[in-house]
Homo-oligomer: A and B are copies of this chain.
């Protein structure tokens, strides 16, 4: 007697979801991946889209293309509204009910404004292509506006950049902005002197890159300062308005505010009604399933799992990828599932780039910085991209940028022709208002 075909559902086409799908290539089950967007995004390089070095298409790939070789895997573009863990079903936003035998939630994270959701409008985070393009447009537009003003006092706040949060994203953004804004003349802005750009990296805690060894955090800080970035430690942000960031002491006037200060897990997890940590991550079992529901797994930024030292695993691509692979292998074959499987994270190292030929890396306890760390960072990131096409494009772009110092994708896209939005015109007006 043959039973109905088993159905595995994966929510999310990020690092975790794609790794799970790949590990399921020889499964005996039907597999469905659901994502709100049609593409997988290589988030670690998203800051380079925001700073006009790469095109969105260079670091994204359609989910359908990635898993196309496997006829077992189906892709659905849509949003999941809630999970019903007792019935083994999930409900889509359009009302459709999808049953599953096993569910892998790789739903990622979003920026956490710690109860100040109103800040999101003035200080966008960077999680999607759309976020990055928004930051890019603001950045370029403020330089255009500054170029047009003869009074250097008026230019001041247009050329001020505040990045909130001293993790890898904040550090990489600050470095990249220092290179764009500090090289205005190279990009054809003749009125903008390099020394006019003021870039602040603001961190509430006592150090930047706190997931890295302390010496590397210190090194990164020195590198940033040498590039002209003002690094403010122990400086919590108390309020954000349209054109102002309020600190404990004083405030900074600018419309260029970027949020990189913390994340929280996807709110879809709340519908499971199980134990979550302060950031909304679900506390998972050693095999990454959730208590009482052995067929529901949570991986990546959505999962709270501790390492050997009792610290929660960081929200990084390698963690999500390894967890996806682990869960995929665990559930690939029906009836063959190990009962006491346990996920162990292999930390291959952490690295962050700070700018041109400048990076810090900690590879299994080996700490280094400078050109070699940067070359290694570049090499690993190019190799980690999905597909030959994206690898070639990013590689060519980086080589070109290295020799010319130019950033190729300095586009302010005209959204005024767009059906439902007038970002470009509004942005223009906003900037003019602020500087009226």
With a cutoff of 8 Å between Cβ atoms, the chain B residues found around residue A148 in the complex are 76-78
| A406 close to B (CB within 8 Å) | yes
A64 lies within 8 A of B406 (CB): no
Name A368-411 residues within 8 Å CB distance of B.
388-390, 392-393, 396-397, 400, 404, 406, 408-411
B411 lies within 8 A of A57 (CB): yes
| A144 close to B (CB within 8 Å) | yes
| A75 close to B (CB within 8 Å) | yes
Residue among A71, A421, A426 having the largest count of chain B Cβ atoms under 10 Å: A421
Instruction: Say how far A413's CB is from chain B's closest CB, in angstroms.
Output: 5
- Of B55, B74, B128, B406, which one neighbours A414 at CB under 8 angstroms? B128
B419 lies within 8 A of A121 (CB): yes
In the complex, per-residue mask of A54-96: 1 if CB is within 8 Å of any chain B CB, else 0: 0111101111110110010011111000000000000000100
Count A interface residues, CB 8 Å. 69
Q: List 23 A-B contacts (CB under 8 A).
A: A37-B414, A38-B140, A38-B410, A38-B411, A38-B412, A57-B409, A60-B411, A62-B188, A64-B188, A71-B190, A76-B148, A94-B432, A121-B419, A124-B417, A129-B413, A134-B417, A388-B400, A389-B400, A389-B404, A420-B421, A420-B422, A420-B423, A421-B422
Residues on A facing B (Cβ under 8 Å):
36-39, 55-58, 60-65, 67-68, 71, 74-78, 94, 121, 124, 127-131, 133-134, 140, 144, 147-148, 187-190, 388-390, 392-393, 396-397, 400, 404, 406, 408-424, 426, 432
8 extra interface residue pairs, beta carbon distance < 8 Å, beyond A76-B148, A130-B418: A37-B414, A55-B58, A94-B432, A121-B419, A128-B413, A392-B400, A396-B396, A419-B423
